[in-house]
Amino acid sequence: MTKYDLVGATGCATGVAHTFMAEEALEKAAQKLGYTIKIETHGQTGIENKLSPEEIKDAKAVIIASDIDVGTDRFAGKRLVMVPVARGVKDPDALVKKALTAPIYKEGQTAKGENEASATQTQNFGNKIYTSLMNGVSHMLPFVVAGGVLTAISFFWGIDSANPKSSEYNQIAAMLNTVGGTTMNLMAPVLGAYIAEAFTQRTGFVVGLAAGFVTFNGGGGFLGAIVAGYLAAIVVTLLQKLFKPLPDNKFRGLKSIFLLPVLGVLITGSIMFMLNTPIKVINVGLMNWLRGFENTNPALLGIIIGVMCASDFGGPINKAAYVTGTVLLAQGNYYFMAGVSAACIAPPLATGFAVLFNPKAYSNSERAAGYVNFLLGSTHITEGAIPFAAKHPLWNIPAFMIGSAIASVLTYITRITVPAPHGGFIVLPLVNKPFLWVLWILIGSVVSGALLALIAGRFAKKEQLATENVTASVSNNGEVSADESFDPSEILELKNIQVNVDVASRNDALHYLADFAERNGLANDSEKVYDSYLNREKEGSTGMTDGFAIPHAQSSAITKSSMIVLKLKNPVEWQSLDGQKIDTVISFLIPQVDSNVHLQYLSNTAKLLTHQEFITQLKNAKSPDEIMALFKN
């Protein structure tokens, strides 16, 4: 059996995109840092790559990037870091490093200061509240989608086709309406059941399910289901502590089959029965408030929904808007969901338009992803926009928000209805104004796409200017044209490539380069080389984008024209073009009498760093041999 340095688990509320994006990001980060890793995924199709007890035992540490419960008790005794799934997508490198020094989970916990322990406990409790809620939402959504779509299909025969007293009545429509409505009605019980299950496993599931039905029958709705879930978890936890003195070897069956479920359902159900009236009042008040927005200020509602749906692309803020739409949908309100769906469909379509508007600003892989997003967006899968948003988030996310808000505002103003909670353009036959709805979504997508294209072009131009600055700065007249015949690998030797170099700052890296050059016989005075590096940085930082820097020194102390490649153990500040820290250094040593020729090598290397495929391969390379082969090929 393969042994892994790290193991982990990922899961998101929908189990469609974030789960597997976090898996891929963590695997790439571990590989880049020289570790082996296995990730267990909790998606809508079930658990994949399930971790065995032996794999967990052999691992040095555990990473959980999940919005749902993935069963943490099995990781007791291991170093463990637990974060929302979005962190796994956005910051995988830091998670890998953090896991290896994280506290031991449960048994054998490392000693720590009182304040630190308190803060950790608060953070873990807050994370548990969040993951349990997402656990409930994750298991609830398939019921909502299946029930909502079947109910919507029943309307093909007429809005009253399920009513036996109506002239539109149809038996097939009535059957579909009954099946769909029954499935939709399971939303609240299932939500309550899986919130409680995240805390107290099977017994919590039973008590939460029963309490969810009680609140559903009493009109508590979605809000009541949340209260029922957490109340069930509290009651079952207290009962478990109450009966803990009973020995398991004699009373395990009695506790699990009789005492805990019977008393749990009795206590939780009774409390929910009494709470139903105030919860119903609050629930009805919230729904009426939202309905009031639809009628009095649809533009403001559209802006709010557009911003929410495009803020985290399938994350908790997006899901808050979506779940609200499904709740109103179950109550017969088909207007709210129309705006939510429009706001969710627009971002991925926008990426497709962006790569069409400005293809030169995107790499081949980005263009391919943009084209695929036309399909994903059309089926209401928002997560395809995440890689584009993550590239320049402070610029791109507002651009997505603008397009989503436009699509949502226009949808609300024109009173479009969508009776299905998912499906995108697949459910167009069920939309009251299908062509107008598609038009509003396309307008919002085109606006966002144009903004994204302008932003990408702006950054591409800055990268090009940076490349020209790097290549021209060592020239006397500043005008150099690259020649493809000057292959950088011609002046790169295997001994001049190092990985996992441990430096703390830019100047430390430059000192290391100068000393390294003298040790390898490339220069005879490391101090002069270091001064040359510093003088070059004073003219303008050699930090580029994507974590690269190309420092170069020209000095009489340099005895041999050479190229040095360092991959740093930890990224360092360098004043790069996009504000990122630098983790890869490509340096040129240029003899005083031989500058013109080596400008060509420098220029061609800088141009290589504008190609995403080359960047990705260099980032993933773990050894000098791999780096050497990459430059040669």
pLDDT higher for 217 or 122?
A: 217
What per-residue confidence (pLDDT) applies to 482? Answer: 41
Q: What are the backbone dihedrals phi and psi of residue 589, each rounded to the nearest 5 degrees, phi first?
A: -110, 120
* Widest pairwise Cα distance in the chain: 98
Joined together, the tokens standing for residue 162 give: 């399920």
Catalytic residue (choose from 6, 7, 12, 321) = 12
Q: Is the pLDDT of residue 118 over 70?
A: no
How would residue 446 be classed by pLDDT, with cut points 50, 70 and 90?
Answer: very high
What Cα–Cα distance (Å) separates residue 328 from each residue in 144, 358, 430?
Answer: 12, 40, 17
Averaged pLDDT of the chain: 82
Q: How far apart are CA 485 and CA 109, in angstroms?
A: 60
Q: CB of 39 within 8 A of CB of 12?
A: no
What per-residue confidence (pLDDT) applies to 542? Answer: 82
What per-residue confidence (pLDDT) applies to 442? Answer: 96
- Candidate ranges 112-121, 378-387, 434-443; pick with highest mean pLDDT: 434-443
6-111 shares its CATH topology with 488-632: no
Q: How far apart are CA 312 and CA 321, in angstroms?
A: 11
How would residue 400 be classed by pLDDT, with cut points 50, 70 and 90?
Answer: very high
Joined together, the tokens standing for residue 301 give: 């509602």
Q: pLDDT tens-digit profile of 304-334? A: 989 988 887 766 677 777 777 877 777 778 8
Nearest C-alpha neighbor of 472 from the set 539, 530, 555: 539
Joined together, the tokens standing for residue 119 give: 């803060």
pLDDT higher for 183 or 462?
A: 183
b/e map 337-362, b = 16+ CB within 10 Å: bbbbbbbbbbbbbbbbbbbbbbeebb
In three-state secondary structure terms, 261 is helix
Q: How far apart are CA 136 and CA 68, in angstroms?
A: 8
Domain ranges in the chain? 6-111, 127-278, 297-454, 488-632
Torsion angle, CA of 517/522/523/529, rounded to 10 degrees? -50
In three-state secondary structure terms, 589 is strand
- The mean pLDDT of 509-527, rounded to a whole number, is 89
Q: Is the pLDDT of residue 25 over 80?
A: yes
Least confident interval from 206-215, 221-230, 305-314, 407-416: 305-314
Q: Is the pLDDT of residue 477 over 70?
A: no
Q: Is the pLDDT of residue 109 over 50?
A: no
Q: How far apart are CA 495 and CA 497, in angstroms?
A: 6
What per-residue confidence (pLDDT) applies to 106? Answer: 64
How would residue 487 be classed by pLDDT, with cut points 50, 70 and 90?
Answer: low
Taking the domain 488-632, which CATH number applies? Answer: 3.40.930.10
In three-state secondary structure terms, 128 is helix
What per-residue confidence (pLDDT) applies to 33? Answer: 82
Would you give the distance in Å from CA 262 to the centre of its chain?
41
Q: How far apart are CA 45 and CA 88, in angstroms?
A: 20
Q: Which residue spans within 522-580 are E strands per DSSP? A: 548-549, 552-555, 562-572
Q: Is the pLDDT of residue 115 over 60?
A: no
How would residue 111 be classed by pLDDT, with cut points 50, 70 and 90?
Answer: very low
What per-residue confidence (pLDDT) applies to 578? Answer: 65
Taking the domain 6-111, which CATH number applies? Answer: 3.40.50.2300
Catalytic-residue membership of 12: yes
Measured in residues, the chain has a length of 633
pTM of the full predicted structure?
0.57
Q: How far apart are CA 420 and CA 326, in angstroms?
A: 9
Half-sphere exposure for 101 (CA within 13 Å, toward CB): 4
Q: Helices in 43-186 by DSSP H: which ranges?
A: 53-58, 85-90, 92-99, 114-154, 171-185
Determine whether 237 is exposed, middle or buried from the number of CB atoms within 10 Å of its CB (0-12, 13-18, 19+). Answer: middle
